[in-house]
Amino acid sequence: MTITEPLLAVAGLTVRFRLPDAEVHAVTDLHLAIRPGELLAVVGESGCGKSVLAHALLGLLPGNATVTGSALLRSGAAPAIDLLTCPPRQLARQVRGRVVGLVPQSPATSLTPVRTGRRLLVETLRAHGHTRAQAPAAADRLAAEVGLDPADLDRYPHELSGGMAQRLATALALAPDPPLLLADEPTTGLDRPLVDHTLDLLRRRCDAGAAVLLITHDLTAAQRVADTVAVMYASRIVEHAPTEALFDTPGHPYSAALLDALPQRAFRPVPGHPPMLTDLPVGCAFAARCDRATPACRVQPAFTGTGVGRVACHHPLEHAELRAEVPA
Ligand SMILES: Nc1ncnc2c1ncn2[C@@H]1O[C@H](COP(=O)(O)OP(=O)(O)O)[C@@H](O)[C@H]1O
Ligand code: SF4
Ligand SMILES: [Mg+2]
């Protein structure tokens, strides 16, 4: 059996932000690989570094950021490009919106205010091979695909609700049919039927051969469509597992705590608060909130392995133990 080469292979991605009197550890030593036809969800509480990850891959970080590591993008027969060292002009012309699409977290602020949704969408389609005659019908089809009434394309961004702007941003990201899509909280502001509609649309794109990195704080969304789930905590991936395994038998106490917080489970919030990314502890960053912590956890980092199957914990949950806790 031949294993498909990753379309994107990220190794050791680390992002720091310089502030006048501190340094923000936004992403630390992050490894992930994503193949055509695969949907990888990155989940975690607000502020753990998910959006910074997406922005780092697309060269969209501000000037106070320092980025290290590598992010090799292989598309077609062309040599791999390292997104982290790629010249900004090349990223803008050859990669962003072409090979790698982004559904941004705050579409209302990223949509050009002086053009209607239709004009934005038609321009994007025209820039990616649709003729003047084809583009309007293709725009209507895309609007319908994302669950937007084509008539709403004639509105300006400020006339759209948050959920409509979100769907327009998704349509714009899908228009060039990119082989890799970074979807950063693509279901914000949508009601549950539209959330499911958007997730299923991403899944269909994957099934047609695209790779999708879904960034979300909504575990139920990840469970619905992801092949594997990477759990981020305080700038690091602490567990990466096949979706079913993560939801049935999480190995990291933080993953288990996140699952416990779901309304359909124990509905028990994760105790305490995440640490400041300007002041991370030397040992495990979850130690202050973890009921399995031992003195060693507070002094020794718990970084083990990379890729699917990784659990960065000194005392991971044993499956037998978990089964005992699950009510019959
Ligand atoms: N330009 C910046 N300067 C300093 N800190 C930043 C900057 N952008 C993001 N951060 C910090 O990086 C951390 C991760 O942010 P983010 O990736 O947006 O989190 P989320 O997981 O909610 O998407 C947060 O602590 C945020 O405050
Ligand atoms: S390393 Fe220790 S403190 Fe951290 S999650 Fe594992 S058991 Fe808890
Ligand atoms: Mg975010």
313: Cβ below 6 Å to ligand 2? yes
**Residue 107: predicted pLDDT:** 85
pLDDT(67) > 70: yes
Residues with CB under 6 A from ligand 1: 17, 19, 24, 26, 44, 46-52, 62, 64, 277
Mean pLDDT for 12-22 is: 98
**Residue 76: predicted pLDDT:** 81
Task: Using DSSP bridges, classify how beta strands 180-184 and 211-216 pair: parallel, antiparallel or unpaired.
Answer: parallel
286: Cβ below 6 Å to ligand 2? yes
Å from CA of 46 to ligand 1 middle: 9
Confidence of residue 164 (pLDDT cuts 50, 70, 90): very high
Domain locations along the chain: 250-325
Residue 296 CA, closest ligand 2 atom number: 2
Confidence of residue 2 (pLDDT cuts 50, 70, 90): low
The chain-wide mean pLDDT, for the chain, equals 93
Q: Which helix (H) or strand (E) holds 256?
A: helix 253-260
**Residue 134: predicted pLDDT:** 95
Mean pLDDT for 262-288 is: 96
**Residue 139: predicted pLDDT:** 97
pLDDT(319) > 80: no
**Residue 324: predicted pLDDT:** 42
The 10s digit of each residue's pLDDT in 114-140 is 999 999 999 999 999 999 999 999 999
Helices (H), 32-95: 50-57, 88-90
pLDDT(323) > 80: no
Contact between residue 174 and residue 101 where contact means Cβ atoms under 8 Å apart: yes
Mean pLDDT for 189-209 is: 95
**Residue 248: predicted pLDDT:** 97
pLDDT(325) > 80: no
| Cα separation, 47 vs 256, whole angstroms | 19
pLDDT(60) > 90: yes
Ligand nearest to the CA of 104: 3
**Residue 106: predicted pLDDT:** 86
**Residue 305: predicted pLDDT:** 77
Mutate to test the pocket of ligand 2, among 313, 318, 321 (most ligand atoms within 8 A of CB): 313
Residue 232 CA, closest ligand 1 atom number: 21
Q: Is the dihedral of CA 149, 151, 153, 159 positive or negative?
A: negative
Q: How many helices (H) and strands (E) does the chain have?
A: 12, 11
Residue 40 phi, psi (nearest 5): -105, 125
> Which residue(s) pair with 180 in the sheet?
100, 211
